[in-house]
Chains A and B, each alone.
Chain A
Amino acid sequence: MTPLQRRSLLLAPLGVAAVGGAAFWMLLDRMSEGTYDPHSLPSMLIGKPLPDFSLPGEAGAGFSSADIVAGKRPALVNFFASWCIPCVQEAPVLMQLKQRGTPIWGIAYKDKSHDTDAFLQEHGNPYTRIARDQPGTTAINFGLYGVPETYVVDSTGIVRWRWAGGLSDDVVNQYLNPLLQRLA
């Protein structure tokens, strides 16, 4: 090894630190944008049919998985709760999606009926229909591990996408809108 090679070797740790730092910066940037969540898990439902369920709603309303598939068009299934803070943050984003005309099926997760009503009064109701999952069993069949979670179902009832956590404008622009355009 020539002395020059030896000296350039000293720069190697610096290079490693620079690459690591750049990667870390990109990570933090995406985290602050809300397009990356280090705790998020891959969904087992992607590419599979919507799990079977039939849930009650207000005054005998509610809906089942068959109702969503019967719509024969791409739809969103959104698990939410009045006690969930990110749900408040994503409420305006869902209202904007409603404007687009995409059906949004809301499932209130472990929520009290009058609390859900108050929540929708305050933050707006973006949902086509609302069902209640009081025991949380349907949520477990979806592989849900927190609220809010949003699933995209295509026109044949296959789950195409899942977002765990609140939807932000960045997430909608980067992932959801392009996907809905492709499915339409």
Chain B
Amino acid sequence: MKLVSALLLGMLLVAPAYAVSDPAELLPNRAQELRAEAIGEQLRCLVCQNESVEQSDADLARDLRHIIRQRVVAGDSDQQVVDWMVARYGDFVRLRPPFNVTTLVLWLAPGIALVAGAVAVFIARRRRPVAVAPLNEAERQRLADLLNS
């Protein structure tokens, strides 16, 4: 049991794997490097399309990591770096799509689903057959007679 918990703890402690294979890629300034990593985490690798620029091992992702670091060192704000990427690769490069006309349905989908579900529940409840009226005196008498016979 101790071994299992030790193993589980070990798994928790494992840092997320970044594809930065070459330590020379890292910026010497720790704060700048962390900023660059945070920006790269928000950007999609255009080659693999389901990994961030920071995680991907693709050549293009490595080039983009390099550009992010160059721009961070040059003093660009996070937003300026993201905008630079969006100007070339479009909103698709952002792993978190912006809220605009084309992504309206995407962002509102949970709300739409909730409202649709509420409407469905409401309709289903109204359709439910009305409760049967209680027996009147004559019916109760007849039931008693039948049960007793």
Contact = CB atoms under 8 A, between A and B. Distances in A.
Contact of B88 (A39, A42, A110, A140): A140
A128 to B, nearest CB: 25
Interface in A42-60: 42-44
B89 A143 contact: yes
A145 interface: yes
A140 B90 contact: no
Interface residues of A, number: 15
Interface of A: 39, 41-44, 110, 135-137, 140-143, 145-146
Most buried by B among A41, A43, A135, A141: A41
B76 interface: no
B59 A41 contact: no
B136 to A, nearest CB: 32
Contacts of B27: none
B88 A141 contact: yes
Interface residues of B, number: 14
B63 A136 contact: yes
A44 B64 contact: no
A146 B48 CA distance: 11
B92 A41 contact: yes
B67 A140 contact: yes
Contacts, number: 37
A41 B89 contact: yes
Given A136-B59, A140-B67, A146-B46, 10 more contacts: A41-B89, A42-B92, A43-B90, A44-B88, A136-B63, A137-B67, A142-B88, A145-B46, A145-B60, A146-B47
Nearest to B90: A44
A156 B5 CA distance: 68
A145 B89 contact: yes
Given A39-B49, A146-B47, A44 B59 contact: no
Contacts of B113: none
Contacts of B63: 135-137, 140
B70 to A, nearest CB: 10
A140 B58 CA distance: 14
B138 interface: no
A142 to B, nearest CB: 8
B87 interface: yes
Contact of B87 (A41, A44, A135): A44
B59 A110 contact: yes
A166 B113 CA distance: 41
Nearest to A45: B88
A136 B65 CA distance: 13
Interface string B63-79: 11001000000000000
B45 to A, nearest CB: 9
Contacts of A136: 59-60, 63
Contacts of A43: 90
Contacts of A143: 88-90
